[in-house]
């Protein structure tokens, strides 16, 4: 697959077949992904891979805390846009697209709650890769590097017919997750990537999200 094709084909997968992903495949993906550039080759990323019983415990913990309405304490905040901004508009458009595909009506509160829980269960993926950075680094400096490795993971996964969903939903309760996955206190939990074989029958897996026309996001200074 050509690089541009892979970039264009990648999309978020929010339901997976239960088949496990071989550990050797995940290792190959991470090996490829870690070829990402980083500032001064600092390579700030580390990976915690959750599978099997550990992953099931993490899913259970997330759901329990979500249902108990425990205050989320993410170590890296993804959300934070003004309510009347274009960014909020795009977020709403995505939600509408997902709920339409899944036939979840606006008033269907339990349907929406069930959808939310799917995210906290890592969309039932058989494996989850969590990107960590050492806390000796500043909060913002490693993020560009981590973004590169994150995208590389999603693209490399395609070569093995695997799908991915980058997600912060599963990282809302890092203290409990840290204990379950034995992530040391010295590491910041940045982002998760659910990974597995896509369930081709799941409507939300077919969603093609829009992108702004290039003219409205690009300026040239000639």
Ligand X SMILES: Cc1cc2nc3c(=O)[nH]c(=O)nc-3n(C[C@H](O)[C@H](O)[C@H](O)COP(=O)(O)O)c2cc1C
Residue 126 or residue 163: which is nearer to ligand X going by CB? 163
Which residue has 């995210």 as its token pair?
119
Binding pattern to ligand X, positions 11-30, x when CB under 6 A?
A: xx-x----------------
The two tokens of residue 71 are 């205050």
Residue 35 or residue 91: which is nearer to ligand X going by CB? 91
Q: How far is the CB of 84 from ligand X (least distance, A)?
A: 20
Q: How far is the CB of 91 from ligand X (least distance, A)?
A: 8
The CA angle 26-204-125, to the nearest 5 degrees, is 30
Residue 119 touches ligand X, criterion: CB under 6 A: yes
Length reported for the chain: 222
Q: What is residue 157's DSSP assignment?
A: H
Q: Binder to ligand X among 51, 166, 176, 199 (CB under 6 A)?
A: 166
Contact range with ligand X by CB under 6 A, out of 7-15, 55-63, 65-73, 105-113: 7-15
Q: What is the C-alpha to C-alpha distance for residues 93 and 87, in angstroms, rounded to an integer?
A: 10
Contact range with ligand X by CB under 6 A, out of 18-26, 56-64, 135-143, 159-167: 159-167
Residue 169 touches ligand X, criterion: CB under 6 A: yes
Q: Binder to ligand X among 36, 49, 168, 173 (CB under 6 A)?
A: 168
Q: What is the C-alpha to C-alpha distance for residues 123 and 201, in angstroms, rounded to an integer?
A: 14
Is 218 buried (19+), middle (13-18) or exposed (0-12) by CB count in 10 A?
exposed
Q: What is the C-alpha to C-alpha distance for residues 187 and 203, in angstroms, rounded to an integer?
A: 36
Q: How far is the CB of 154 from ligand X (least distance, A)?
A: 8
In this structure, the strands spanning 163-167 and 127-134 are unpaired
At residue 15, the 3 state secondary structure works out as coil
Residue 75 or residue 167: which is nearer to ligand X going by CB? 167
Q: Name residues contacting ligand X, limited to 34-63 (CB under 6 A).
A: none
Residue ranges that bind ligand X, judged by CB under 6 A: 11-12, 14, 78, 94, 119, 165-169, 191, 209
């Amino acid at each position: 697959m050509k690089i541009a094709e892979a970039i264009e084909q990648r999309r978020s997968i929010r339901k997976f077949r239960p088949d496990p992903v071989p550990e050797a495949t995940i290792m190959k993906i991470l090996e490829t992904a870690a070829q990402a550039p980083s500032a001064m080759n600092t390579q700030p990323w580390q990976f915690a891979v959750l599978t099997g019983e550990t992953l099931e415990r993490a899913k259970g913990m997330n759901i329990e805390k979500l249902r108990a309405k425990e205050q989320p304490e993410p170590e890296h905040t993804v959300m934070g846009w003004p309510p009347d901004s274009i960014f909020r508009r795009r977020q709403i458009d995505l939600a509408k697209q997902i709920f339409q595909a899944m036939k979840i009506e606006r008033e269907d509160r339990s349907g929406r709650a069930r959808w939310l829980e799917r995210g906290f269960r890592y969309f039932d993926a058989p494996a989850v890769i969590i990107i960590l950075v050492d806390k000796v680094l500043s909060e913002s400096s490693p993020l560009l590097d981590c973004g590169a490795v994150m995208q590389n993971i999603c693209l490399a996964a395609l070569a093995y017919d695997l799908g991915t969903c980058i997600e912060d939903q599963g990282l809302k309760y890092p203290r409990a997750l840290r204990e379950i996955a034995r992530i040391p206190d010295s590491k910041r939990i940045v982002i998760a990537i659910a990974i597995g074989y896509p369930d081709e029958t799941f409507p939300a897996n077919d969603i093609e999200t829009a992108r702004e026309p290039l003219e409205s996001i690009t300026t040239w200074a000639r």
